[in-house]
Chain A
């Protein structure tokens, strides 16, 4: 069935079943990655109250190191990812302790500028070390050949299939979210982290080393970011020094719509952002794909109008 809709402003082929499903799959796969980036935003924001604008570049840098270990040093890709995750967690915690903590007490906006400075340094650093050209082959955590897919509808054109990569992305996000939840809800460390997010002063009173929980937020964010970088490089088939910048923006957008201090919100927000990003240019003729981020933010504006704290955020007063 090919739906022919002659409504002005609506793409007529949008409602073609296979095209719609393909768009949906793509949207949810991208959305899953945005959810991961949103998680990094939330992990840092919950305890520290600020944003890390260099998160994407940290992830990008980590992905390049995965590339070096996997492609140049022939290490198993998952082992490389594991090593990079551990290293980036240490680096993330160190950044927080050494660069951010001294500034937090003195100015609210200073950490913003600091992370921006880090953004430029990491971005320039990666370009200096690895050049500005895209790198191939891209490390493949999941089977990524042309026929690594599950065909679902082959009776009509275009075919509808889901790649193993896409399944891989969803599986990774699901596993990470479950692990994160387990850590936060079932371990003493997780309880301490949530306590600091809920009431930092009372946490001091109770004996929790609050500063270490702030470092933990950055460490978790860095680790998740590295994983996100590796899987999105493969999914989108691009690895260059700029590939994470837009992803981080969408991650911020997702955290915004979900609520900056909610993990559930990060996941829902990410998927929502993925859907809006793919479907608005697909559905409306007057919106080109370069305007997709603008469309996403418009949707967020609408959500925030009705729920100023995001879909799942807590109602308390924001720290700037």
Chain B
């Protein structure tokens, strides 16, 4: 299995406050890797640092290319799609326009059209609302839109920041089921940052645990499920 994303010795800070210290992780092609951690551990910062949206030092290699030092708008062209915390939809644009924008870095118009139609097939609710303003969609629909938008760039790596946040339990289940499908059927490599450890570990291949800006545990999903500390802290039993 080829390594797609390799992070070594990553330090990240907001101004004078350092959040990540010497973080290291990797994501292999075709995997779903999950990052667990409590509030404030630095999970969102990790994703943002990978995407160069936060001051960072160290090494983040994506398929051989070094990301550290590059500008954030270059990430899409390098095959990274990021679904930020809080969805990050474009509220004043329509559903269809949100999807079009997702394909900004692509130039193959007919294929883009096909992909938009496939998004509607994957997420019929979006198809029903294609001319609606994204800001008027419900939380779950916006999350689907955000994921569909991210997929429009045909990414090599999909980064998801707390996709379950603010959503009803049934919707979250449905969402994670789709993540699993996307990974199985389309082979989309995913890196998911989550607080909802149960569902995340269900679909993950491997996982890491982040505490106070450092990785304290890593292993396969099964290993982490069996780990006592993880069970007590994140799985609730």
Contact = CB atoms under 8 A, between A and B. Distances in A.
B is a partner of A: yes
Interface of A: 188, 191-192, 194-195, 197-199, 201-210, 314, 316
B4 interface: no
Contacts of A197: 92
A201 B73 contact: no
A202 B90 contact: yes
A203 B102 CA distance: 9
B82 interface: yes
Contacts of B75: 205, 207
A202 B105 CA distance: 14
A198 B91 CA distance: 6
A192 B97 CA distance: 10
Given A194-B93, A205-B72, A205-B76, 16 more contacts: A191-B97, A191-B100, A191-B101, A194-B97, A198-B92, A198-B93, A199-B91, A201-B53, A202-B88, A203-B73, A204-B53, A205-B88, A206-B102, A207-B73, A207-B153, A208-B73
By secondary structure, the A interface counts as helix
B14 interface: no
A91 B101 CA distance: 28
A205 B92 contact: no
Given A195-B90, A198-B92, A202-B89, A208 B104 contact: yes
Nearest to A316: B91
Interface in B82-129: 82, 84, 88-93, 97, 100-102, 104-105
B77 interface: yes
Residue from A197, A198, A205 having most chain B Cβ neighbours under 10 A: A205
Interface in B2-58: 51, 53
A207 to B, nearest CB: 3
Nearest to A261: B92
12 contacts: A188-B104, A191-B100, A194-B97, A195-B90, A197-B92, A202-B88, A205-B51, A207-B76, A207-B105, A208-B104, A209-B73, A314-B92
B171 to A, nearest CB: 21
A314 B135 CA distance: 11
A192 B101 contact: yes
Contacts of A188: 104
A199 B84 CA distance: 12
A203 B75 CA distance: 11
Contacts of A207: 73-77, 104-105, 153
A78 to B, nearest CB: 35
Contacts of A201: 53, 84, 88
For chain B, give the interface size range: 20 to 34
Nearest to B73: A204
A206 B72 contact: no
A232 B200 CA distance: 63
Interface string B129-155: 000000000000000000001000100
Contact of A210 (B73, B92, B97): B73
Contacts of B77: 207
Residue from B73, B82, B84, B101 having most chain A Cβ neighbours under 10 A: B101
The 3 closest A-B pairs by CB, nearest first: A207-B76, A198-B90, A207-B105
A262 to B, nearest CB: 10
B30 to A, nearest CB: 23
Contacts of B88: 199, 201-202, 205
A124 to B, nearest CB: 38
Contacts of A206: 76, 101-102, 104-105, 149, 153
Residue from B53, B73, B88, B153 having most chain A Cβ neighbours under 10 A: B73
A257 B101 CA distance: 30
Contacts of A194: 90, 92-93, 97
A209 B153 CA distance: 16
A236 to B, nearest CB: 36
B13 to A, nearest CB: 16
Given A192-B104, A207-B104, A208-B104, A199 B90 contact: yes
A284 B224 CA distance: 79
A209 to B, nearest CB: 6
Contacts of A203: 73, 90, 101
